[in-house]
């Protein structure tokens, strides 16, 4: 791995400058590891819980133990943790369709939802089977200076508002990620204004970044993906729904069928991967955050705008970098792919990805296809051509990938002179 002298000098400078920040990240990992370990000890996890099952899987002890463990770790009444969720969006959609009824209103408090959620909702991007087609109403609260306009929440909620959707991560936007203190404030205000309104958190990319989770900060229910943070890089598929027991039950009836709910669903994959992945997750997330910090620092020194900046507090594992051109976006992803452990020889090309309005270019040389807790980078081909980095199982590999991306952009710039 030969990088330019300039990049190697910057690498050493950043490592020296980041020592105290890295220690703070490690402290959060230490606290979260203790939380997970204590929960596993209290739940008496054993290798009997790692077996696969088939058929209806009534009384699947491994599945039931995994869900007990997730509920305890995330400070909630109940959890639905299943391989039958094909993605985080599927888990989120299951909650929406499970809890909302015709005539109910959903309000997105953090501006426009993420691209794939737009097709689920169906108002901005019409799609068959959307909430709109089922007569579910929708509104959203525009951001104010990039942040949730908490003073305008009272003007947005009405008697039909059944649920508010709060997206923790930035998605394909520049807005700051919501911190747990932000989520606590939002849930408190919503419940003050309308006590029966359900606060639903899209928790993707946020698990274990801080020492508390949304369900420990006033959220009624949340959902996410197992091939993001909580899977620890080992979970091969799946998603979760966690929160109040009555709400999780309603979501389970949508996942399977009314009257069946969480009682069915075979563990077709060895459950060890999910238990072990959750055990490793706090450490893996810390590696990803260190990598995001390194990326922000390097590209700030190279003259690029970053979101969040090196100095800002982080609420998820995503690092956005404004590259300014489609050519640089593609080159950046090419550098990440080049230093990936899988498909390093592949050249990323923009394509029409399901659920997205614009073409997407993606670097994802991952062991689990599309796993964004493993190191990946992607972005839509639209101005200002931001690339979004996420994940990484080891800081060292993330660092090599970031240097590789910077190297490809240097080559591109030199060729255009």
Average pLDDT over residues 176-183: 96
> How far is residue 57's CA from residue 59's CA, in Å, rounded to a whole number?
6
- Identify whether the C-beta of residue 163 lies closer than 8 Å to the C-beta of residue 99: yes
Beta-bridge mates of residue 222 = 201, 242
> How far is residue 400's CA from residue 84's CA, in Å, rounded to a whole number?
35
- For residue 302, the model assigns a pLDDT of 97
> How far is residue 234's CA from residue 273's CA, in Å, rounded to a whole number?
5
Decide if pLDDT at 346 tops 70.
Answer: yes
User: Which domains, ranges and CATH numbers included, belong to the chain?
Assistant: 5-32+278-415 (3.90.1150.60), 51-269 (3.40.640.10)
Question: What φ, ψ does residue 285 adopt, rounded to 5°?
Answer: -60, -40
Chain segment 91-122, per-residue pLDDT in tens = 999 999 999 999 999 999 999 988 889 999 99
- For residue 293, the model assigns a pLDDT of 98
- For residue 23, the model assigns a pLDDT of 98
Decide if pLDDT at 356 tops 80.
Answer: no
- For residue 174, the model assigns a pLDDT of 75
> How far is residue 108's CA from residue 9's CA, in Å, rounded to a whole number?
45
- For residue 123, the model assigns a pLDDT of 93
Decide if pLDDT at 171 tops 80.
Answer: no
Chain segment 358-399, per-residue pLDDT in tens = 899 999 999 999 999 999 999 999 999 999 999 999 999 999
78-82: strand order across its sheet: 78-82, 239-243, 221-225, 198-202, 161-167, 105-108, 137-140
Tell me what the pLDDT averaged over the chain comes to: 95
Q: Which of 54, 59, 139, 149 is nearest to 104 (CA)?
A: 139
- Identify whether the C-beta of residue 331 lies closer than 8 Å to the C-beta of residue 388: no
- For residue 417, the model assigns a pLDDT of 66
- List alpha helices for 212-271, DSSP H: 245-255
Q: Please state, in angstroms and as integers, the Cα–Cα distance from residue 35 to each residue in 171, 271, 315, 345, following that order.
A: 28, 20, 18, 40
Chain segment 226-251, per-residue pLDDT in tens = 999 999 999 999 999 999 999 999 99
Chain segment 298-339, per-residue pLDDT in tens = 999 999 999 999 999 999 999 999 999 999 999 999 999 999
> How far is residue 183's CA from residue 217's CA, in Å, rounded to a whole number?
7
- For residue 387, the model assigns a pLDDT of 97
By percentage, how much of the chain surpasses pLDDT 90?
A: 92
Chain segment 37-96, per-residue pLDDT in tens = 999 999 999 999 999 999 999 999 999 999 999 999 999 999 999 999 999 999 999 999
Average pLDDT over residues 184-213: 98
């Amino acid at each position: 791995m030969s990088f330019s002298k300039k990049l190697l000098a910057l690498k050493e400078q950043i490592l020296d400058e980041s020592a105290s920040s890295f220690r703070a990240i490690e402290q959060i990992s230490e606290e979260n590891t203790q939380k997970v370990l204590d929960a596993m000890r209290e739940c008496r996890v054993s290798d009997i819980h790692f077996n696969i099952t088939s058929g209806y899987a009534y009384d699947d002890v491994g599945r039931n133990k995994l869900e007990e463990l997730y509920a305890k770790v995330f400070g909630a009444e109940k959890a639905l943790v299943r391989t039958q969720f094909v993605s985080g969006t599927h888990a989120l959609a299951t909650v929406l369709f499970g809890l909302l009824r015709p005539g109910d209103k959903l309000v997105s408090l953090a501006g426009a939802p993420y691209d794939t959620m737009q097709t689920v909702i169906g108002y901005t991007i019409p799609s068959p089977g959307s909430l709109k087609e089922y007569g579910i109403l929708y509104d959203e609260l525009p951001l104010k200076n990039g942040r949730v306009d908490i003073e305008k929440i009272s003007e947005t909620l009405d008697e039909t508002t059944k649920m508010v959707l709060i997206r923790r991560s930035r998605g394909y936007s520049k807005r700051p990620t919501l911190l747990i203190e932000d989520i606590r404030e939002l849930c408190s205000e919503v419940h003050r204004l309308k006590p029966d309104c359900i606060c639903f958190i899209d928790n993707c990319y946020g698990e274990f970044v801080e020492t508390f989770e949304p369900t420990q900060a006033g959220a009624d229910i949340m959902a996410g993906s197992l091939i993001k943070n909580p899977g620890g890089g080992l979970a091969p598929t799946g998603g979760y729904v966690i929160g109040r027991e009555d709400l999780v039950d309603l979501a389970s009836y949508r996942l399977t069928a009314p009257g069946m709910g969480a009682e069915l669903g075979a563990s077709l994959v060895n459950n060890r991967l999910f238990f072990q992945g959750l055990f490793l997750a706090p450490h893996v997330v810390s590696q990803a955050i260190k990598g995001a910090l390194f990326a922000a620092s390097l590209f700030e020194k190279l003259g690029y705008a970053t979101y969040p900046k090196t100095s800002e507090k982080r609420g998820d594992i995503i690092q956005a970098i404004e590259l300014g051109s489609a050519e640089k976006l593609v080159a950046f992803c090419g550098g990440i792919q080049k230093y990936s452990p899988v498909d390093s020889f592949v050249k990323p090309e923009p394509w029409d990805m399901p659920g997205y309005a614009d073409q997407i270019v993606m670097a994802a040389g991952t062991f689990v296809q599309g796993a964004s807790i493993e190191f990946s980078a992607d972005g839509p081909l639209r101005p200002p051509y931001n690339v979004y980095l996420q994940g990484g199982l080891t800081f060292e590999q993330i660092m090599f990938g970031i240097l590789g991306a910077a190297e490809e952009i240097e080559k591109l710039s030199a060729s255009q002179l």
